[in-house]
Amino acid sequence: MSKFDQPQQEPLFIAIKNDDPAMLRAHAQASATIDHFRDHLTRTVNGFRCAKLKFRDPDESDRLGEDRFLYLWLTSVHYHVVEQVFSGTFFEVPEELRKWHEVGERLAFEAEDIFDWMVLEDGHLHGGFTMRVAREALEPSERSKYDEYVGVTVYEPLPGQASGKP
């Protein structure tokens, strides 16, 4: 049985090293295409609009004597044109950050804070650079279950790509 088939009590994370070359490329691509994200936000009515942010884990950082980070998706992302800032809502918060954040909390953030972005409309994924890396790290037999778990039926081409390969 796949972990994607089981009900989850806590957020389901797929661990990939922060210095993984594919993950670093995904972050660079996401950062370079923030304007595409803004465009999607201004015209997307239905669907999920999410941004992945990097959060410092203060307790673990203090314990280890070096900065440790967690990456979380915020949903219901909106771009505030006048303020030139984004905002999004926590839909899941791991134990490590519950002293500082809670589910349902809205957070404002800048474009440079975005580690990844995605818009999911009727199963069509736009962006989702790190999601594609995580998917590729799975066993081939798990990929369709992952797609179902995250709600993706079509991986739209990334900005600057000709095909929609994940």
pLDDT value at position 143? 93
Residue 26 phi/psi, 5-degree rounding, is -60, -45
CA dist., res. 119 & res. 43, Å (int):
11
Binned average pLDDT, 10 residues per bin, the chain of 166 residues? 55 64 93 95 85 92 90 94 96 89 96 96 95 91 90 91 58
CA neighbor of 151 nearest in space, from 139, 135, 138, 137: 135
| Domain-wise residue ranges, the chain | 21-155
